[in-house]
Amino acid sequence: MAATWMERARHSMPGGVNSPVRAFRSVGGDPVFVARGEGAMIFDAQGRRYVDYVLSYGPLIMGHRPAEVLGALKAALAKGTSFGMPTEEEVVLAETICDRVPSVEMVRLVNSGTEATMSAIRLARAATGRDRILKFEGCYHGHGDSFLVKAGSGALTLGHPTSPGVPADLAALTSVADYNDLDSAVRLFDAHPGEFACIIVEPIAGNIGCVPPRAGFLEGLKELAADRGALLIFDEVMTGFRVHAAGAQGLYGIDPDLTTMGKVIGGGLPVGAYGGRRDLMEQVAPAGPVYQAGTLSGNPLAVAAGQAALDALARPGFYEDLEERSAAVAMVLEGAAERAGCPLTLNRVGSMFCPYFAEGPVEDYAAVMGADAERHRRFFHALLEGGVMPAPSPFEAWFVSSAHDDEALEITAKAAEAAFRRAVAD
């Protein structure tokens, strides 16, 4: 039973998990232990099937075990698992990323999104000769010390937005503005003239659910950074190749100075990357003095899976088809909520979305925190009972894949009817 496994897990792993949100603290109960995945579905240890809207928190844009990725992994595995030396395949993946994302002239592959964001701000600090960074409340950029100041995602779920263990002197170099409030960023720049190395932002805030940028917000950040001698970093670990063929920056037509990526570019395997303007990236060792290294960076299995995924995404009509599937899921959820008389705001950008139990627009951190958490808990567990796996936190985005077919939609529709009625029950 899952509870038995969880009891065993708590003896050997903190909280019984290897990443906090998996513990179901925000929704209650013990987590589902997954045995396998297939297409849009996952199966638990008892063999029960669920329509999966977690999708490993975003990378599985083609669903579980797509044939293209499995074939590439099989071929790569036959050659070896790790070399710690250059391979032709990592060059091809780097070229693919640079070709698809115009602002990225050079790229460095790393092992995780956290590693990518930590490396990007180190580069920004070195390039500008400044120490202070600006981030936004609720935006999560991995668990690097500089970022765990009013962070989103799992930090919010556990009720510890600022983590113990972060040195006060380092936290003091991180200024926090309000997402979607350009004036709040300007005020901080005015308060610390000449101190900011960079602005780092999720162009679509994906760690407080899914909060798109207001019109002019990203454009204003680009202008602010340029005017004040700072760099603009887009954290596209979640949105890169997910919401558009060139990421959120392609969708909104804005070129940042640096970009961090992950998830989709690994095809389901651990990977990250940071890249940007050539003059900046040539400051990274061994081309320049900014040190960053990793034995498993460019791992041949992750590179093979990522290249197979990006090749599949380049097929004509892929994103158009994914948009249709995502719109259908959103329509099902909104319709079920309306019939149940349940207040709902559903934010969606392409195949990334989040339902909030709240009236009116949800455009910032305060609105996210004002949503009804108790209704979300009831809704979550009713969906599980109906064979649907949503994100186990009101602060996590949901995702749709190209494998979400009519059967997945039918299961979702049936489960949603019961779940929204449960959500509004006294």
pLDDT digits (tens, 9 = 90+) for 368-411: 999 999 999 999 999 999 999 999 998 899 999 999 999 999 99
For residue 352, the model assigns a pLDDT of 98
Query: From CA 34, how far away is CA 330, in angstroms rounded?
Result: 25
Provide the percentage of residues in the chain whose pLDDT is more than 90: 83
Average pLDDT over residues 276-304: 97
- Interhelix angle 182-191/217-227, rounded to 10 degrees, is 20
Average pLDDT over residues 286-309: 97
Range in 1-10, 195-204, 363-372, 407-416 the model is least confident about: 1-10
Provide the percentage of residues in the chain whose pLDDT is more than 70: 96
Strand partners, 348: 353
Q: Per-residue pLDDT for 154 more than 60?
A: no
Average pLDDT, the chain: 93
Q: Per-residue pLDDT for 330 more than 60?
A: yes
For residue 155, the model assigns a pLDDT of 45
Which sign does the torsion angle of CA 175, 181, 184, 185 carry? positive
For residue 166, the model assigns a pLDDT of 79
For 188, the token pair is 């901080």
Per residue in 155-165, pLDDT (tens digit) is 443 344 466 77
Name residue 423's amino acid. A
Average pLDDT over residues 320-343: 98
For residue 2, the model assigns a pLDDT of 53
Q: What is the DSSP string of 46-99?
A: T--EEEES-GGGTT-TT-BS-HHHHHHHHHHHTT-S--SS--HHHHHHHHHHHH
For 288, the token pair is 């320049």
Strand partners, 260: 235, 274
Average pLDDT over residues 131-139: 92
For 69, the token pair is 């990725």
For residue 153, the model assigns a pLDDT of 47
For residue 20, the model assigns a pLDDT of 80
Selected residue with higher pLDDT from 146 and 110: 110
Active site residues: 140, 235, 263
Q: Per-residue pLDDT for 115 more than 80?
A: yes
Task: Name the CA radius of gyration of the chain, rounded.
Answer: 21
Query: From CA 127, how far away is CA 47, in angstroms rounded?
Result: 53
CA atoms within 13 A on the CB side of 199: 31
Per residue in 240-289, pLDDT (tens digit) is 999 999 999 999 999 999 999 999 999 999 999 999 999 999 999 999 99
For residue 227, the model assigns a pLDDT of 98
For residue 170, the model assigns a pLDDT of 81
Per residue in 36-90, pLDDT (tens digit) is 999 999 999 899 999 999 999 999 999 999 999 999 999 999 999 999 999 999 9
Which sign does the torsion angle of CA 419, 59, 243, 214 carry? positive
Selected residue with higher pLDDT from 147 and 323: 323
Average pLDDT over residues 7-34: 87
For residue 68, the model assigns a pLDDT of 97
Q: Per-residue pLDDT for 426 more than 90?
A: no
Q: Which long-range contacts (CB under 8 A, 24 or more apart) does 67-72 make?
A: 68/308, 68/309, 68/311, 68/312, 69/267, 69/268, 69/305, 69/308, 69/309, 69/312, 71/308, 72/267, 72/304, 72/305, 72/307, 72/308
Could you give all domains of the chain from N- to C-terminal order, each with its CATH number? 1-31 (no CATH), 67-313 (3.40.640.10), 317-343+355-374+402-426 (no CATH)
For 283, the token pair is 């400051």
For 372, the token pair is 């009804």
pTM of the model: 0.94
Ranges of H-type helices in 202-317: 217-227, 247-252, 278-281, 300-313
Cβ-contact 107, 258 below 8 angstroms: no
